[in-house]
Amino acid sequence: MPIAVGQPAPDLTLKDQDQKDVKLSDFRGKNVVLAFYPLDWSPVCSKEHACFAHDLPNFQGLNAQVLGLSVDSVWSHKAFAEKMGIRYPLLADFEPKGAAASKFGLYLADKGITNRATVIIDKQGIVRYVQVYEILSQRNNEDLVAELKKLH
């Protein structure tokens, strides 16, 4: 079951595509759009990240940090980010596989992938929005921007 709205977001530290440690709690004072997705390179994930890359100024204008998170390795994330023009951190929940997603109730152990979901965390580190999508359905950034506007 996904994490509930109103709960403090569990802290996590994962490597991004540049092998830098990214700690969720370091973003206190900013809203965070934590975009869980199954795998780099899959068709729906590729479309979603192209949209995030395109819409990044909209998120930044709302004092929000976008973070992608999947079970892929740092090296896969690096190649994927370069190919897709991604300029926000892609977090590697690689070893132990799915440990960070499990803290949010979003790891699909039977499939070995992260669920497609969005968790918006406010400036104080509290979960304010959770949406789980069908694996083959793309999230809508307009919905996420509307949710972020509610936090201002």
Q: Are the beta carbons of 132 and 107 closer than 8 angstroms?
A: no
All residues at 6 or more sequence positions from 42 whose CB lies less than 8 Å from its CB, including other chains: none
Residue 15, sorted as left (phi over 0), alpha (psi -120 to 50) or beta, turns out to be beta
Determine which one of 45, 71, 86, 119 is catalytic.
45
Indicate if 45 belongs to the active site. Answer: yes
Q: Which residues are catalytic?
A: 45
